[in-house]
Structure 1
Amino acid sequence: MRRRPRGAPAVLVGHRVPVRARPRGGGSGTASRNRDGTRVRGDEGRRPREFGATKGVVHASSSAWKPACDAEEIGSNVVESVNALDEFARERDFELCVENIPDGWFSVHDFDGLFAETDASMTLDTGHARMDGLDSGDIAAFVERHGDRISHFHLNDTRRAKDEHLPFGAGTLDFRAIFDALPDDWEGTLSLEVFTLDYGYIETSKAYLDELL
């Protein structure tokens, strides 16, 4: 396989660096939270870069209760927030990657619209895509259509439409087909999402990933 990721993304161990935008009602702005819960605003919110990270993953979502809300208005607000965060990130040479969240405001089925209305990159979570009804062939077709916007992968293996986070290769997703759908010049990054306390499974997952690459 010719395409090769640029390397593993920086991992912020033991730190929480969420970022929020408030496009309506309290003005626009960005914020991060320190470990003690205090809010950091403006240019101080550059902590990921200080740790060597060049990209970050966000969820384009809302806590608004869908049955009681205007879906079009909430969706528009979320898109506005993504654009505000993306602009903030680009000014600091940082890449914003929006993750597909199953049964959320922007699942994998909604990314055509998000791509059309924002310039943000995507984090494709393979397990989340499976939860939203895509099989390996469907995921590969999505990657073929949008490989130029996918900058990062959460490699989340699963045997069924559940968020299982199995050791890489232990599930039924055909990652070879998914990777083969990427453009030949793709230079994104990959994260193995394996939920385990046994690091032997991590080692096995990494070895299998290296075989595919």
Structure 2
Amino acid sequence: MSDRAKDPHWERRSLDRRILYVMERLVDHYDFPVRGGAGLVGNLVAESGVIPTRVEGSAESTPMRSKNFDGETVNHTAKAIMNRNATRHIGPARPGIGLAQWTAAPRRAGLFSHRFHGDVLGARAVFDMDDQIDYLADELKSSFNGVRAVLRRPAVKVNDACDEVLYNFEIPGAIIQGGSRLPRSDPRVQRVFNQRRPLAQRALAVYRDARS
């Protein structure tokens, strides 16, 4: 695990440096094709700004600061984020956390129980970039293998990879109506596709420029 992965202040690094770090991990350590990795990272840019400490509703410059259940804007501790509980008014009012803004209770809990290099980090996972990338890769392999198959196609196009991650992995509220995903052809879904594709293209450009 690199020292950079443990950096609690990724928000102080430029977006391109954050993008490059995750791209290199996905390509060099997890064997994702470059375009597939870029499609994934483009979604991480949209979700969290590629900041592992980011909680939902926070600003990029203060990623662990957001409203609590009493409507007050506060700096949350990693432990409070992990133990978020609406009934007991613990932690952030909104559930999203980390690179992919894990929100659903089972996926969110999985981040904090994920075993990485033989260790379960618990609340420390909030600060660990490599642990979150590994959890992301593990989720794709174990629970989203269809998405992973698309991303790992050698000839996958960046936009197709980006769309697949958005539609079948991230599934943001903007593409849901009445508890179900809108069809891909729906203008509201197409709008989000078009918002995220340039971010994936940026991830591809950042990686290629660093390797040129």
**More strand by proportion, 1 or 2?**
1
TM-score range, shorter chain: under 0.3
Greater relative CO, 1 or 2 (CA 8 Å, sep 6+) = 2
Structure 1 length-normalised TM: 0.26
Structure 2 length-normalised TM: 0.26
Structure label with greater radius of gyration: 1
**More helix by proportion, 1 or 2?**
2
